[in-house]
Amino acid sequence: MKKYPKINKISVVIFEWESLNLGTDYNTFNQVYDPGSKKKQKAAILQVHTDQGIVGEYPMNAGVDVAEIQSVSNYLIGKNPLSREEIYKDIKRGMRQSLNAANSYVDICLWDIAGKLYEEPIYRLLGGEKIPLKAYASTLHGDENGGLATPEDFSDFAQECLELGYKAFKVHGWGLARNDINREITNVLMLGKNFENKLDLLIDPACEIKNFGDALRIGRACDEAKFFWLEDPYADGGVSQFAHRKLRQMINTPILQTEHIRFLEQHVDFILSESTDYVRAGAYQDGGITGTMKIAHATEGFGLDVELHGPGPVHRHIMSSIKNTNFYELGLVHPKLSNFNIWSKIYKDYSDELNAVDKNGNVFAPDGHGIGVELDWDWINKHTVHKFNLAS
Ligand SMILES: [Mg+2]
């Protein structure tokens, strides 16, 4: 009988780096361009080890994610890492009071192990193919510091993205920085005027618009400017089924919700209540690749499209394996700031920077085994501040 691997150790490497000209906005939550400032950033690599020497590895948040993984690490010891469905189900139940980052990052590492064991990239294990993935330039939030500070700045940057090959562009605006909804609306209308039939235009107020009335104003501007989608418009946090169904009844622009709800069941409920047009899901929040594929297939069953939240090689694998999707979220990007994202730092030969697209605005899934890109341990070790085993 075939001898399957067993998980025999869970470890974490925490590292820090500093990004120049990166700061935060008025309420410290949004990262923005801020010339002269230095922002300390911190992340971790989760490692799931097996008795056959194969290690599943992926980056994650260094704070709450590590604490969650700690809670499930004893459970994982001795498990067959290929039993992903059982592990998904057990952690989902065991961590039902938590955010479930544990389920997400553990699952990604288990798929990395499977790919390395079977010597295939993850998209092959999912039944996918290496296909061009149409990327959108997902901007850093608007700032007050001479970067993306005006609607003209956004249009200039959209033009630069168009010339680089991008076919789609997404605004993260200023939100409540000056409580100025008119600046957001002017931005939408100007982009529509300048880029109709040239770029698919998207906007993500990231739940920062103060109320339903202003969300409706933005929505009507998106109608006029023929935006492709309006995402998480306002301060309910993106979770109210009633309010988003109501908004859909009052505007024509498709909306994209469900970034802030978790897992298959809540996504299906949101679809059934007719509260979204496009369905947001992602491996970092919805139970890894296993959880995201469940949502992608459920969405397909309703004849709708699923849109993955955020970049990273794992989303390139998933996107290569589903047909009911439109865009790869590349970013965050900015006209005056680069190389502050984690991906091009920790991986060799991998980037989600502005210039990572080909001349047609596409990116591709990696071809190596598992996640399929090599971690740059020289860089990671140089920036490591803490290394420890959670269980063995
Ligand atoms: Mg979003």
Model pLDDT for residues 143-198, shown as the tens digit of each residue: 999 999 999 999 999 999 999 999 999 999 998 888 899 999 999 999 999 999 99
Under CATH, to which class is 124-363 assigned?
A: alpha beta
282 Cα: distance to centroid of ligand 1 (angstroms): 11
- End-to-end Cα separation, the chain, in angstroms: 26
188 Cα: distance to centroid of ligand 1 (angstroms): 17
Distance from C-alpha of 185 to C-alpha of 166, rounded to nearest angstrom: 23
214 Cα: distance to centroid of ligand 1 (angstroms): 18
204 Cα: distance to centroid of ligand 1 (angstroms): 6
Residue 146 is inside which H or E element, if any?
none
Give me the phi and psi of 7, to 5 degrees please. -70, 125
Q: Which of 44-58, 168-182, 348-362 has the lowest mean pLDDT?
A: 168-182
94 Cα: distance to centroid of ligand 1 (angstroms): 28
392 Cα: distance to centroid of ligand 1 (angstroms): 37
Q: Which of 19-33, 104-118, 183-197, 211-225 has the lowest mean pLDDT?
A: 19-33
Give all strands (DSSP E) within the chain, no chain letters. 7-24, 31-50, 55-60, 133-139, 168-171, 200-203, 229-231, 255-257, 278-281, 306-308, 328-333, 362-363, 384-391
Is the peptide bond preceding residue 201 cis, with omega within 30 degrees of 0? no
Distance from C-alpha of 145 to C-alpha of 48, rounded to nearest angstrom: 42
Entry pTM:
0.97
317 Cα: distance to centroid of ligand 1 (angstroms): 20
55 Cα: distance to centroid of ligand 1 (angstroms): 31
Distance from C-alpha of 232 to C-alpha of 250, rounded to nearest angstrom: 16
Q: What is the CA radius of gyration of the chain?
A: 21
> What does DSSP say about strands 168-171 and 133-139: parallel, antiparallel, or unpaired?
parallel
310 Cα: distance to centroid of ligand 1 (angstroms): 8
The average confidence (pLDDT) of the chain is: 96
- Alpha helices by DSSP H, listed for 165-320, are 181-195, 212-225, 241-250, 263-272, 288-301, 313-319
Domain boundaries, the chain: 7-121+377-391, 124-363
HSE-up of residue 77 (Cα within 13 Å, Cβ side): 12
Examine the pLDDT at 216 and tell me if it is beyond 90.
yes
191 Cα: distance to centroid of ligand 1 (angstroms): 19
Q: Are 111 and 318 in contact (CB under 8 A)?
A: no
Q: What is the pLDDT of residue 126?
A: 98
The model's pLDDT over 261-319, given as tens digits with 9 standing for 90+, comes to 999 999 999 999 999 999 999 999 999 999 999 999 999 999 999 999 999 999 999 99
Task: State the average pLDDT over residues 203-226.
Answer: 97
> For the structural domain made of 7-121+377-391, what CATH number should be given?
3.30.390.10
